[in-house]
């Protein structure tokens, strides 16, 4: 173990990142930038080809960054046999829910099946995926043991949850403090040495399950508070109160209050999914997670709330949603990114289509809708112009991208359903807060 730690600390180690998505790709770029040899692994040949050509497939990752990393020796492959050539293996894999709302660890299990024959002494294995407490020890440790390796002696096992926030320019992989935990103290020491190469502040956790639970707490904290403010939005709307004015006033308090903002629901790879990993695990201990489930109910109801506001607004214009032409602004789950994972805007789009509306969308970050697991939408983004806006009976703001010309939209749209408070300071009959 000491030799591995020295290798990691001395920047002599080769780093292998499995899963080159929103978490894995920024991570491997930082390792490459820090001077370590880095190899990316993915089952998607298209992603691998893009990386090896120096082509970025994420809007927020510049091509120049990728090309520099490739020039410095970074590479990508679909050949998992090359796991034998790396010293550190970092798993950045999806952990979705299945159709029954239960944890789906199939990506982790299939990956471990693929790499198990190539595990060797002197390696460190780190899981970054969000999951329920106990996963690292229950699911990963047996693979190490079956390979005749001993975690803490000749192999290191750690859990270090990702904290990637695509599109956030204030925080980077390096500047966001990172939790690291280990199966044994020696494993933890190796994990700290690994991540110290690219992270300014590494935070040791006392136990694998502590780190796993901490990641869930971070996301549940957001889910519950977003659920609260979404419910407050509905109450405020019924009372004729501007919820954004309420939040601004409350946020003047310098202690004991953190502002959260309402929207058409919640999206992304974490908040809609991760809390239910704990809900599922808690049942094993006879615990009913009422706060988590209630927040989920409220947040999942928000697209329906928006549709109801749209229908009432169209009725006031003597129109039915069936047959109306609707323009949805934004498909991403949050502003200024191309990330559609679990986006409530997809729910809005599908719901409007199901109700018989003629729907188009505009999103500068998503020119076409790719094939998705839940949705089969054959649509392309339309350009926002005065003539284009005037074709529609209503415009629904689903994502408040900075790139949208909101003055143009306000001046030319017949009816606006504003789910993000973009026009909260404008009191005009054709703008409806939702």
Q: Which CATH code of 3.40.50.720, 3.40.50.300, 1.20.200.10, 3.40.1590.10 fits the domain covering 2-206? A: 3.40.50.720
Residue 392 has what pLDDT? 98
Residue 378 has what pLDDT? 84
Decide if 130 contacts 270 (C-beta within 8 A).
yes
CATH number of 240-433: 3.40.50.720
Closest CA to 111 of 23, 49, 18, 39: 18
Query: Taking the model in full, what pTM does it have?
Result: 0.92
- DSSP per-residue letters across 233-289: HHHHHHHT--HHHHHHHHTT-SSS-------S---SSSTTTTHHHHHHHHHTTT---
What is the pLDDT confidence band of residue 374, given thresholds at 50, 70 and 90?
confident
Residue 121 has what pLDDT? 97
36-45, 165-174, 261-270: segment of lowest average pLDDT: 165-174
Active site residues: 270
Q: How many residues does the chain have?
A: 434
Q: Report how far apart, in Å, the C-alpha atoms of 120 and of each of 46, 143, 345, 390 are.
A: 29, 11, 45, 64
Q: What is the pLDDT of residues 383-401, one digit of tens each?
A: 999 999 999 999 999 999 9
Q: What DSSP designation does 342 have?
A: T
139 CB contacts (<8 Å, ≥6 apart)? 105, 108, 109, 112
313 CB contacts (<8 Å, ≥6 apart)? 394, 415, 417, 432
Place of tokens 């692994």: 41
Q: Answer whether residue 372 shows pLDDT above 90.
A: no
What is the pLDDT confidence band of residue 60, given thresholds at 50, 70 and 90?
confident
82-119: b (≥16 Cβ within 10 Å) or e = bbeebbbbbbbbbbebeeeeebbbebbeebbeebeebb
Q: Answer whether residue 299 shows pLDDT above 80.
A: yes
Q: What is the pLDDT of residues 300-313, one digit of tens each?
A: 999 999 999 999 99
Q: What is the pLDDT of residues 17-41, one digit of tens each?
A: 999 999 999 999 999 999 999 999 9
Q: Answer whether residue 373 shows pLDDT above 80.
A: no
Q: Chain-wide mean pLDDT for the chain?
A: 95
Residue 383 has what pLDDT? 96
Residue 99 has what pLDDT? 84
What is the pLDDT confidence band of residue 1, given thresholds at 50, 70 and 90?
confident
The H or E element containing residue 153 is none
Sign of the CA dihedral with 431 first, then 432, 433, and 434 last? negative
What is the pLDDT confidence band of residue 101, given thresholds at 50, 70 and 90?
confident
Fold: same for 2-206 and 240-433:
yes
Residue 145 has what pLDDT? 97
**Domain locations in the chain?**
2-206, 240-433
Q: What is the pLDDT of residues 205-225, one digit of tens each?
A: 999 999 999 999 999 999 999
What is the pLDDT confidence band of residue 377, given thresholds at 50, 70 and 90?
confident
55-59, 327-331, 386-390, 398-402: segment of lowest average pLDDT: 55-59
Residue 165 has what pLDDT? 80
Joined tokens for residue 367 = 């020119």
Q: Answer whether residue 143 shows pLDDT above 90.
A: yes
Q: Answer whether residue 167 shows pLDDT above 90.
A: no
């Amino acid at each position: 173990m000491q030799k591995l730690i020295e290798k990691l600390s001395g920047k002599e180690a080769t780093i292998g990142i499995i899963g080159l998505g929103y978490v894995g790709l920024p991570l491997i770029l930082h390792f490459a930038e820090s001077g370590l040899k880095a190899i990316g692994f993915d089952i998607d040949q298209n992603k691998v080809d893009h990386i090896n050509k120096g082509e970025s497939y994420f809007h927020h990752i510049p091509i120049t960054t990728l090309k520099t990393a490739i020039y410095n020796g970074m590479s990508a492959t679909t050949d998992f046999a090359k796991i034998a050539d790396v010293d550190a293996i970092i798993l950045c894999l999806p952990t979705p829910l299945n159709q029954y709302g239960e944890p789906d660890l199939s990506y982790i299990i299939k990956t471990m099946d693929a790499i198990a024959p190539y595990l060797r002494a002197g390696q460190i294995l780190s899981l970054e995926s969000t999951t329920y407490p106990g996963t690292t020890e229950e699911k990963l440790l047996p693979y190490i043991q079956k390979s005749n390796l001993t975690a803490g002696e000749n192999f290191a096992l750690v859990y270090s949850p990702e904290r990637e926030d695509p599109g956030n320019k204030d925080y980077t992989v390096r500047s966001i403090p990172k939790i690291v935990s280990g199966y044994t103290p020696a494993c933890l020491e190796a994990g700290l040495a690994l991540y110290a190469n690219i992270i300014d502040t590494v935070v040791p956790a006392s136990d694998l399950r502590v780190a796993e639970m901490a990641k869930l707490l971070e996301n549940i904290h957001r889910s519950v508070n977003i659920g609260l403010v979404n419910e407050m939005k509905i109450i405020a709307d019924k009372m004729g109160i501007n919820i954004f004015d309420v939040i601004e006033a409350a946020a003047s308090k310098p202690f004991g209050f953190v502002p959260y903002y309402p929207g058409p629901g919640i999206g992304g790879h974490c908040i809609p999914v991760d809390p239910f990993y704990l809900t599922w695990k808690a049942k094993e201990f006879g615990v009913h997670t009422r706060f988590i489930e209630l927040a989920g109910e409220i947040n999942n109801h928000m697209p329906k709330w928006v549709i109801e506001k749209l229908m009432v607004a169209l009725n006031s214009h003597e129109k039915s949603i069936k047959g109306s032409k609707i323009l949805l602004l934004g498909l991403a789950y949050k502003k200024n990114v191309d990330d559609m994972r679990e986006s409530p805007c997809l729910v809005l789009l599908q719901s409007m289509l199901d109700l018989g509306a003629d729907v188009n969308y505009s999103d500068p970050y998503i020119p076409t809708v790719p094939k998705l697991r839940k949705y089969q939408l054959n649509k392309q983004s339309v350009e926002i112009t005065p003539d284009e806006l005037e074709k529609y009976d209503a415009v629904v703001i689903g994502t408040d991208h900075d790139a949208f010309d909101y003055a143009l939209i306000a001046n030319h749209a017949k009816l606006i359903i504003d789910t993000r408070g973009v026009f909260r300071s404008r009191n005009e009959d054709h703008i409806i807060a939702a």
